Amino acid sequence: MFQYTEKRCSKCLLQEDTARNFLINDDGLCSFCANMTEEEKDYARLEDVFRNKIEQIKAQKSKYDAIIMMSGGKDSAYLAWLLKEKYGLTMLALTIDNNFEYEETFERASELCKTLDIAHMQFRIPPSLTRTFYRFIMSEQPLKEKDFGQLCLYCGKYLLDHGIVMAEQFGIPAVIVGYNPDQLFGMGRSIEVETQTFRIRQQQAIARKIEFQFKKAEAHAAQNKLHELIPVFKLEHPRCQLIYPFLYLEYEPLKMMDTVRRELGWRPIESFSKGTYIASGCKLLKLMAALAKINNVSSYMDLEFSNQVRTGALTKEALEKYYASLEEDESFYTELLSQLGIAEPLQSLAAISPAGAAGNKG
């Protein structure tokens, strides 16, 4: 685990992070577990909303009803199976190579699409573009967050934009993305019940902050004359629909894995976590977590997984095994930095100057 403190919640394993006010009390519980209230969503009603969205895109009679972003992990595998078998969607699966993925990602995605008999396209972003993009968002002081969460924030849109462009070029009415509920909340997109006014206010604050961050990144790219990056940070409204199924469907990762193993012969992407699978990601996700550890703060993965343990979607034992397998030796990070064209070592890259921190409310 990318662990920087011995103080962890006894129930959900969240690390104490005083910078974010994630505190562990005398009973060994984090503030989330100590003040936990049950969230009851009407999933039957939400599924009706989701089904209506599906029927709307099917009614457009396109060759493909939707593009599904396909990583080959459990979430995209489960959604591809569910959307084809239960909702009857005809999909084009899109796997994007950002030049920092594990080769297993493409193997698993290809296997799944063959098993499901759905069309599959792989698109590789030119290495020079991704190098410029990632180096920019990781190295520029005004964009840095202590946990380097800006890496996933900006990257998520960068990759999704490729799906949107493809959908609009081919006249495909929707792009479907398997972000889990915690990721969606972190994007300011979750659906909250009316009584949870605190979470609604929190969600609105997140959405405002994200809009501010993208405008800041766009302006900074223009200032640095990186014109090829300016469109990446523009917040525009696509003509196609963006559909996030886990806004409406209950998220149960362990049951989902059982389903895709049984129905599709799915195998996990093990390169990321060395044989203990809960979730996977690209190599840069590990770099982000290593930088967060240097800065003595949690990465967004910590909060995401602890939330899943807290709600019963994930077991504490499964998370402990997963955490034990994540860290890499120094040569792994040195090679990544070299690939990015970043000459400074991890400790220097992690540093946030006072000027950078002043414009950074994360």
The tokens for 270 are: 């093990």
| Pairing verdict, β 174-176 and 91-97 | unpaired
What integer is the mean pLDDT of 287-296?
A: 92
| Cα 204 to Cα 329: distance, rounded to the nearest angstrom | 39
**Given a cut of 80, is residue 37 above it in pLDDT?**
no
Among 152, 101, 73, 125, which Cα is nearest to 282's? 101
**Contact assessment for residue 316 and residue 12, using Cβ atoms and an 8 Å cutoff:** yes
pLDDT at residue 168, as a whole number: 94
pLDDT tens per residue across span 107-162: 999 999 999 999 999 999 999 999 999 999 999 999 999 999 999 999 999 999 99
| Cα 106 to Cα 122: distance, rounded to the nearest angstrom | 8
Residue 142 CB-density burial (10 A; 0-12 exposed, 13-18 middle, 19+ buried): middle
pLDDT at residue 198, as a whole number: 67
pLDDT tens per residue across span 198-251: 677 777 888 888 999 999 999 999 999 999 999 999 988 898 999 999 999 999
Task: Give 231 or 360, the one with higher predicted confidence.
Answer: 231
What pairs with residue 92 in β-bridges? Answer: 67, 119
| Cα 356 to Cα 350: distance, rounded to the nearest angstrom | 12
What integer is the mean pLDDT of 34-50?
A: 84
**Contact assessment for residue 50 and residue 248, using Cβ atoms and an 8 Å cutoff:** yes
| Cα 361 to Cα 359: distance, rounded to the nearest angstrom | 7
pLDDT tens per residue across span 339-358: 999 999 999 999 998 655 43
| Cα 152 to Cα 155: distance, rounded to the nearest angstrom | 5
| Cα 199 to Cα 100: distance, rounded to the nearest angstrom | 34
pLDDT at residue 249, as a whole number: 94
| Cα 52 to Cα 43: distance, rounded to the nearest angstrom | 14
CA quadruple 362, 74, 253, 4: dihedral positive or negative?
A: negative
pTM for the full predicted model: 0.90
pLDDT at residue 192, as a whole number: 64
Helices (H), the chain: 31-34, 43-58, 74-85, 103-116, 127-139, 150-170, 181-186, 197-223, 230-233, 253-264, 283-294, 300-310, 316-323, 330-340, 346-350, 354-358
pLDDT at residue 358, as a whole number: 39
**Given a cut of 60, is residue 93 above it in pLDDT?**
yes
Structural element, H or E, at residue 171 = none
Among 29, 19, 56, 118, which Cα is nearest to 306's? 29
Among 317, 326, 319, which Cα is nearest to 289's? 326
What integer is the mean pLDDT of 52-79?
A: 96
| Cα 209 to Cα 211: distance, rounded to the nearest angstrom | 5
pLDDT at residue 38, as a whole number: 66
Average pLDDT, the chain: 90
| Cα 303 to Cα 171: distance, rounded to the nearest angstrom | 38
Longest CA–CA separation in the chain, Å: 59
